Structure 1
Amino acid sequence: MIRTLTATAVVALLLAACGQPEATPPASAPETPATPAPTTPAPDPNALTAGGYGPLRIGMTRAEMVTALGDDSDPNSVGGAEPEICDQWRPARAPEGVLVMIQDGVLTRISAASPSTLKTDRGFGVGDTAAAIKAAYGPLAVATPHKYSEPPAEDIFVWASGGPATAGAWVDDAAARGVRYEINGEGKVSIVHVGGPAIQLVEGCS
């Protein structure tokens, strides 16, 4: 009798279990969308850099430069006493205020003065302050006295490669590349020069 009751109880329990609805698994939490990685803005292709500007690359031949931005916009201008050795002029398709320097048939410097609105790859151009430039570059910015004007006029050099081991030392290495911010008596940029050792020249080709 005990066995019969036990068997009957087991069957009843099994039938009761079969009649229960299946347990519903807990709903999974919605996936949190991944935060996209911050993107670095693409450099401005027309920014002035130690290596050049737009299609112009320091070290290219005069013929290559003329193909890129045109010949002298004013053939009657005299950019240098000995143009076959050193000449400075504005290419026909270059923005206003932009001058190129050609030494021995090679592009060695690009300069931007008013009314140019061109900026360097660090965002500085004509009208920006010397203080802002020094703050942005830190110890890479080396200031030297202006040849003709009293302070706050000065020249700020930032060499990307081949710079002097001693601040203010003259750079002769043709492979050196840098930026020179020419600061006026108001403490602001009047001209930006980019290129090789020619950025050190203070009177055009001399």
Structure 2
Amino acid sequence: MIRALILPSIAVLALAACGQPDEPAPETPPAAEAPAQTPDSNALSAQGWGPLRIGMTRAEITRALGPDANPDAVGGPDPESCDQYRPERAPEGVLLMLEQGVLTRISLIREATLTTDRGFGIGDSAADIKAAYGDAAQVSPHKYSEAPSEYITVWSDGPSDSPYREDADARGVVYEIGADGNVSMIHAGGPSIQYVEGCA
């Protein structure tokens, strides 16, 4: 008699358990988002380098990095309209261009050890630069040397259809490639990055 009562009770319990909704799985907390990479403030970009920003005045540059390290050197044929120099506290190989008293270009030359915000510096290969920038890189022949010498230009707002940009708000980087296929100079800033002879 007891056995007869136990079996139906077990069956009822089993059926009741089958009808119960499954316990909801505990929610997995969302994966933490990877922190955004902070740009290197000591890397040269189309907007500037370190404490310098394209568009600064000579007075602002002097407050940030000191006066001209070599005031007796000729920076341009008409320094009032265009001048090039290295401030006293700027690293070796950093050359500034000011037009009408305003910073328009920062260049890395010869002994510069700084790199761009993409990690490229003097001596890096043109092939690596083209691979890194892809279709954003515009390649043009060098004015004075045969290939593999060339200019690799990257504008912040994308490739330009114009052979020469005059928009004062345009910002970009030019990698000048030497006869060995490697970077010999880098220019960053406004339209003056297109100059091939200092201030011209």
Q: TM-score range by the shorter chain?
A: 0.7 to 0.9
Matched, 1:112 2:108: yes
Moved >6 Å (runs of 4+): 31-34
The CA deviation at 1:117 is 1.1
- Whether the 8 Å contact between 2:112 and 2:122 is mirrored in structure 1 is yes
State how far apart, in whole Å, the 2-side matches of 1:80 and 1:163 are.
30
- What residue is the counterpart of 1:24 in the other structure? none
State how far apart, in whole Å, the 2-side matches of 1:138 and 1:148 are.
25
State how far apart, in whole Å, the 1-side matches of 2:96 and 2:112 are.
13
- What residue is the counterpart of 1:12 in the other structure? none
- Whether the 8 Å contact between 1:163 and 1:176 is mirrored in structure 2 is no
Matched, 1:91 2:78: no
- What residue is the counterpart of 2:126 in the other structure? 130
Matched, 1:199 2:180: no
**Which ranges of structure 2 fall in alignment gaps of 5 or more residues?**
3-26
TM-score scaled by length of structure 2: 0.83
State how far apart, in whole Å, the 2-side matches of 1:34 and 1:140 are.
35
* Identical-pair percentage: 59
- What residue is the counterpart of 1:173 in the other structure? 167
- State the one-letter code of the partner of 1:58: I
- Whether the 8 Å contact between 1:180 and 1:194 is mirrored in structure 2 is yes
- Aligned CA RMSD, in angstroms, stands at 2.2
SS at match of 2:156: strand
Distance 1:73 1:153, change over 3 A: same
Aligned length: 179
- State the one-letter code of the partner of 1:91: P
Distance 1:33 1:56, change over 3 A: same
SS at match of 1:120: coil
- Whether the 8 Å contact between 2:46 and 2:189 is mirrored in structure 1 is yes
State how far apart, in whole Å, the 1-side matches of 2:30 and 2:103 are.
48
Q: Which has the larger radius of gyration?
A: 1
SS at match of 2:122: coil
**Which ranges of structure 1 fall in alignment gaps of 5 or more residues?**
1-8, 10-30
The CA deviation at 1:161 is 3.0
State how far apart, in whole Å, the 2-side matches of 1:159 and 1:120 are.
14
